[in-house]
Structure 1
């Protein structure tokens, strides 16, 4: 209804609307996600799936096709996703769990390492 300008929970944690390309269908798939905006215009997002056993579909879509679009505060931004690993993931994870401690609970509940992506604006 608001074109991504306002999502439920924005008062608690920032949100964006992510549009990926479906890994099987090739069709656009929209998902509202909590995010952590970073300096430099990038965003961190976590494939928590609310602590469920499996990774969310949108994270697999980004792995197959990292080019996506986000709506954040009413702006449409083309982005490229990078799945963070090793030291980059650990640094982002520390920041994310300080910002939103529930992520650690989701990790414990799911029994898996949650995927962390950095979405960087591109010039498409």
Structure 2
């Protein structure tokens, strides 16, 4: 069986959901993972993504980096079209509303995220796209 730290994409999501995060919540370099459920903007189908997150007050932060690609991740484009999402953290699945951090909020939130995943800074140097921090607030 693949170690939880080697999981990616659909395999990571599947193992996380099967085990309520027992496998897949703790990931690489001390990071923790949530599952974000968005609605496909064209298909209307539910999509799920395993993302590094940090708590921020009553909200949760994720970064729409896609490794520094010039195009944003599909999940981000989907939540821009429909910000009503679901989030699962371990066995707790709940409705949330997604928004992009404001210019005033972003520096602190970015620092919170790069503290746990320093590669985000490197990803930003690879693209002219401003990589957003997404705030997930319980609905």
- Both structures adopt the same fold (TM-score exceeding 0.5): yes
Task: Report the TM-score when normalising by structure 2.
Answer: 0.79
**Bigger share in helix:** 2
Q: Any unmatched runs of 5+ in structure 1?
A: none
**Structure 2 CA distance for aligned equivalents of residues 11 and 101 of structure 1:** 10
For 1:61, the equivalent position in structure 2 comes to 78
Q: Any unmatched runs of 5+ in structure 2?
A: 1-14
Task: Report the TM-score when normalising by structure 1.
Answer: 0.88
Residue deviations 1:42-97 (CA, integer Å, cap 9, x gap) = 10000010122210010011111000001111110111001112111222112222
**Higher RCO (CA < 8 A, seq sep 6+):** 1
2:41 paired with 1:23: yes
Q: 1:110 aligns with which of 117, 120, 127?
A: 127
Q: Decide whether the 8 Å contact of 1:59 with 1:115 is kept in 2.
A: no
RMSD (Å), alpha carbons: 1.7
Q: How does 1:1-124 map to 2 (within 5 A)?
A: 1-3=15-17, 4-5=20-21, 6-7=23-24, 9=27, 12-40=30-58, 42-122=59-139
